[in-house]
Amino acid sequence: MASLLNPALSVGLTSNGRARRVRARSLVSPASVSFSRRRLTIRAAETDTNEGTVKPQVPDKAPAGGGSSFNQLLGIKGAAQETNKWKIRLQLTKPVTWPPLVWGVVCGAAASGNFHWTLEDVAKSVVCMMMSGPFLTGYTQTINDYYDREIDAINEPYRPIPSGAISEDEVITQVWVLLLGGLGCAGILDVWAGHTFPIVFYLALGGSLLSYIYSAPPLKLKQNGWIGNFALGASYISLPWYNIFGYFVSVLITACYYVDLPSVDRWAGQALFGTLTPDIIVLTLLYSLAGLGIAIVNDFKSIEGDRAMGLQSLPVAFGAEAAKWICVGAIDITQISIAGYLLGAGKPYYALALLALIIPQVFFQFQYFLKDPVKYDVKYQASAQPFLVLGLLVTALATSH
């Protein structure tokens, strides 16, 4: 019991089994423990000097009024509490995060210049999307939730693992099923594409390993805001694209340091249909910087838990105000640089199209994200990111012509 207590908390256990928990404004004296026949109370003597009662600093984090069943299926905040184990398992995979990875496969195929609208190529793409989205992204999200269960107990105690809606053994089983399913799809794609070297399999294996060390101790890359977020961004941009190309896997994994699954999709998409060129390496790694900015967006909602657990996310390290501008700067400056690269490469129409797609992103940054990155994070991402991923496709098409 003692290990679950935070000295900045006041916890009361009443005879009916219900727990009360509040955070007070300041520490003014050490914790005290008192026993009685009916009730055990453990609390830090933390009171407001002007008021005789303990006042909460942070509102109750549980979803109000039962939450949304749709949010629950997507795996985003505001989710309804669920008892159906299959729905809970789906929630852990966060389906809302699959589209960028699936889109990565599309961009990689487009950049290869070798995709054709035949039944075989479409079927290959669908299997690659299944590998990158439900299987390997689902694996990444599930393992991240497993190793974040202590932080989630602070930030989002109603999530499936900290709330006890699913057991840790069941979560571990899900991790293995998703990982083996994704690697199996990768192996099938290599055989299908006639690769003499199983490039897609090794990309998937390398990305899965890096996803593990991103979330799990002792390395736990996410403890460092710069390394963790760049690794996450690189994986979302580069690997999914590269799988369509087919070689230089060691160079790319080393360059990315850590590769989350969305990058696996883009490289995966290219490994299936084409070959890797230097400009693709440069452009995907540049887009990884934009991915760093996207990754920072998700850190704001976890500031309290990250600080308590000693994780140096950028909002914790630099403060929320500075981190907001680092985030939007990484996203916007990177895309403007890529537009300049396309212009210099003699592709002005693609450069202008990319610049046109940056404008609404900047608008939504000022409209939502810069006003309140915690309150509007989902609304901002839903509004702005479609334009960013369309820019990815424009860049992919530019490299294929």
Q: What is the pLDDT of residues 19-35, one digit of tens each?
A: 444 444 433 344 444 44
Tell me: the pLDDT tens digits for 336-353? 999 999 999 899 999 999
Buried b (16+ CB within 10 A) or exposed e, 22-34: bbbbeeeeeeeee
Highest mean pLDDT among 11-25, 201-215, 237-251, 332-346: 332-346
**According to the model, what pLDDT value does residue 150 have?**
87
More confident residue, 8 or 230: 230
Q: How far apart are CA 361 and CA 384, in angstroms?
A: 5
Tell me the average pLDDT of the chain: 73
**Amino acid (one-letter) located at 205:** L
Give the pLDDT band (50/70/90) at residue 71. confident
Inter-residue contact 258 to 231 (CB < 8 Å): yes
Q: What is the pTM of this model?
A: 0.64
Percentage of residues in the chain having pLDDT higher than 70: 67
What pLDDT shows up at residue 338?
93
Q: Tell me the mean pLDDT in the region 348-373.
A: 96
Residue 229 binned pLDDT confidence (cut-offs 50, 70, 90): low
Those residues with Cβ within 8 angstroms of residue 182's Cβ, 6 or more apart along the chain or in another chain: 131, 132, 135, 136, 139, 204, 208
The residue that leads in pLDDT, 323 or 113, is 323
Residue, of 185 and 69, whose pLDDT is higher: 185
Higher pLDDT pick, 71 / 151:
151
Q: Is 52:22 a contact under the CB 8 Å cutoff?
A: no
Average pLDDT over residues 286-306: 80
50 within 8 A of 61, measured Cβ to Cβ: no
Tens digit of pLDDT for each residue in 244-283?
333 223 223 222 322 333 444 554 555 555 555 677 767 7
> How far is Cα 98 from Cα 104, in angstroms, rounded to an integer?
10
Q: Give the model's pLDDT for residue 367.
A: 95
- Name residues whose C-beta falls within 8 Å of residue 225's C-beta, 6 or more positions apart in sequence: 296, 299, 312, 313, 314, 315, 316, 317
Lowest mean pLDDT among 167-171, 176-180, 269-273: 269-273
Average of pLDDT values for 309-313? 77
**Residue 313 region by backbone torsions, left for phi larger than 0, else alpha for psi between -120 and 50, else beta:** beta
Of residues 143 and 45, the one with the higher pLDDT is 143
Q: In the structure, what pLDDT confidence band is assigned to residue 222 with cuts at 50, 70 and 90? A: low
227 pLDDT band, cuts 50/70/90, is: low
**What pLDDT, on the 0 to 100 scale, is given for residue 259?**
31
